[in-house]
Structure 1
Amino acid sequence: MTGIEYVRGDATAPRGKGVKIIAHVCNDLGGWGKGFVLAVSRRWPGPETAFRRWHRERAGNDFGLGAAQFVQVEPYVWVANLVGQRGIRTARSSGVPVRYEAIDAALVRLADRALELGASVHMPRIGCGLAGGKWSRVEPLIAERLLARGIPVTVYDFGA
């Protein structure tokens, strides 16, 4: 098993050949408008449209913590909307919205889809931006759910 490849760059422009899935964490309120999703929406409108529809129609689908939605945005590129955040952080909120158990469950679904597509997975440090999570808690989940199943993972740190 190899480790996570860490690179500087933009996760919406994944490196390498073959099928790629760009994964990121979303909230369970259906909100889309801050953080990494802005970069996703600037590049492709489809993931936001699909996420908002998925949330709006949640009474009849699997939307909720731990769920994953996959949206094809280019012939060899997919975006994975992973619901791993309970609500959003506000000035009045205490604690952080990240839910590690939900990220873990969504990573299982991501791994299944990556294996089905023969894809590598690309992401920012999911759950660690606006969701307020700690990479020291997320990284082992990625290792267990993706790397242990032979799925290559690249994590992008934006900048230079």
Structure 2
Amino acid sequence: MISMVQYAVGDATAPAGSSGPKVIAHVCNDSGGWGRGFVTAVSRRWQAPEAAYRAWYRERGRPGNDFALGAVQLVPVEDGIWVANMIGQHGIARRGRTDAPIRYEAITAALTTLVTHCTRLGASAHLPRIGCGLAGGTWDRIEPLLITHLATRGIATTVYDIP
């Protein structure tokens, strides 16, 4: 069954809809920075995703640590709710930077992994408009990735816009 991406006005850290397991996915950078954008909402609700991301970054390059563009770190935050830290941007947005930090290939790789996690958990996916804020991406390039890698694979996908 092919489903489409659903849109909702609300807080992606408080996913609505079905009562089943949920994965809240968002894009992180590969430079260890956490403190602007959607991550601030995540950190207001739970401490674990930031702590896990910082430890993952700190231990990068060590055996067994897959921290790199395209990688996904799944962090349990509540019973039946996980946060997926997806590494999809190279560096961070800075004044004077001429290129956007978004890496669409990394988003594609991360979504492929996210589908595996959602399938294993029987979970729906809940996201803000990933990659379109500080990462500098465009929704006309991100939305087709969500459709291809999540919705057409049967993962109920909801994208949240803040009121």
TM-score by length of 2: 0.96
User: What one-letter code is carried by the residue in structure 1 that aligns with 2:6?
Assistant: E
Q: CA deviation at 1:92?
A: 2.1
> For 1:69-94, what per-residue CA distance to the aligned partner results, in whole angstroms no more than 9, with x for missing partners?
00000011000000000001101211
Match of 1:71 in 2: 75
Instruction: Supply the distance in 1 between the matched residues of 2:88 and 2:94 (Cα, whole angstroms).
Output: 17
Match of 1:121 among 125, 130, 133: 125
* SS of 2:69 mapped into structure 1: coil
Matched, 1:3 2:7: no
What is the RMSD computed on CA atoms of the aligned residues? 0.5
Match of 1:37 among 11, 36, 39: 39
Q: Tell me, which stretches of 5 or more residues in structure 1 are unaligned?
A: none
* SS of 2:61 mapped into structure 1: helix
Instruction: Supply the distance in 2 between the matched residues of 1:72 and 1:149 (Cα, whole angstroms).
Output: 23
Match of 1:95 in 2: 99
* SS of 1:58 mapped into structure 2: coil
The answer to whether the 8 Å contact 2:5/2:159 transfers is yes
Identical columns (%): 59
Match of 1:132 in 2: 136
The answer to whether the 8 Å contact 2:92/2:101 transfers is yes
> For 1:81-130, what per-residue CA distance to the aligned partner results, in whole angstroms no more than 9, with x for missing partners?
00000001101211100000000000001000000000000000000010
Q: CA deviation at 1:59?
A: 1.1
Instruction: Supply the distance in 1 between the matched residues of 2:136 and 2:126 (Cα, whole angstroms).
Output: 20
Matched, 1:18 2:23: no
Q: Tell me, which stretches of 5 or more residues in structure 2 are unaligned?
A: none
Aligned structure 1 segments of 4 or more residues deviating by more than 2 angstroms = none
How many residues align? The count is 159
Q: CA deviation at 1:148?
A: 1.5
The answer to whether the 8 Å contact 2:4/2:152 transfers is no
Instruction: Supply the distance in 2 between the matched residues of 1:140 and 1:111 (Cα, whole angstroms).
Output: 15
Match of 1:107 in 2: 111
Instruction: Supply the distance in 2 between the matched residues of 1:10 and 1:32 (Cα, whole angstroms).
Output: 19
The answer to whether the 8 Å contact 2:3/2:155 transfers is no
TM-score by length of 1: 0.98
